[in-house]
């Protein structure tokens, strides 16, 4: 649904959502040396539960970067930016996660999660960069996902893509 682009909070228990970003490095003829997505995520459960692990898979242009296990769906306090009209018994905030790909591999918050590197993504061959956030039906911890955007959670930001290019 194209309205997902205007949503401040998306959640689902299984399946995926994709976002497409322009490959601005290709437009200006620069090579990418690092790609980073920053986003606030948590598990998803009816109500909330700080102990509700969920395996969240992130892929770029059809290549799986890896899996991060969210520890829970947080509702112990209202999110700093969560609006007053949002129910207190609903998901309030997540954890700000940094998914980074370099020539050395793929990382979450600086911890290497796979050997898939920039060469494996072949970003320069594509006009766009597609980010997929997924909870697989066969995941070890299929606990859903909340994707917090601007106006919700503890970080007042939408999903951010940063591209570092060679000089």
pLDDT in tens, the chain (167 residues): 777 678 899 999 999 999 999 999 999 999 999 999 999 999 999 889 999 999 999 999 999 999 999 999 999 999 999 999 999 889 999 999 999 999 999 999 999 999 999 999 999 999 999 999 999 999 999 999 999 999 999 999 999 999 999 98
For 156, residues 6+ apart whose C-beta sits below 8 A from its C-beta are 80, 81, 150
Residues 93 and 81: their CA atoms lie apart, in Å, by 9
> What are the tokens at 7?
């949503």
Q: Is 27 helix (H, G, I), strand (E, B) or coil?
A: helix
- Domains, the chain, with CATH or none: 2-165 (2.60.120)
**CA geometry: angle at 37 spanning 165 and 103, to 5°?**
45
Q: What integer pLDDT is reported at residue 4 of this predicted model?
A: 67
For 78, residues 6+ apart whose C-beta sits below 8 A from its C-beta are 88, 92
Q: What pTM, to 2 d.p., does this model score?
A: 0.94
Q: What integer pLDDT is reported at residue 155 of this predicted model?
A: 98
Q: What integer pLDDT is reported at residue 19 of this predicted model?
A: 95
């Amino acid at each position: 649904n194209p309205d997902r682009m205007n949503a401040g909070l998306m959640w689902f228990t299984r399946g995926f959502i994709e976002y497409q970003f322009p490959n601005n490095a290709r437009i200006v003829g620069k090579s990418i040396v690092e790609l980073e997505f920053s986003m606030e995520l948590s598990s998803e459960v009816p109500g909330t539960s700080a102990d509700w692990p969920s395996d969240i898979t992130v892929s770029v242009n059809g290549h799986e970067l890896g899996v991060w296990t969210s520890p829970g769906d947080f509702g112990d306090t209202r999110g700093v930016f969560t609006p007053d009209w949002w129910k207190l018994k609903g998901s309030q905030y997540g954890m700000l996660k940094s998914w980074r790909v370099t020539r050395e591999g793929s990382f979450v918050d600086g911890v290497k999660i796979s050997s898939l590197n920039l060469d494996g993504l072949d970003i320069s061959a594509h006009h766009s960069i597609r980010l997929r956030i997924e909870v697989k039906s066969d995941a070890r911890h299929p606990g859903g996902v909340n994707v917090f955007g601007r106006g919700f959670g503890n970080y007042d930001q939408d999903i951010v893509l940063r591209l570092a290019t060679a000089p």
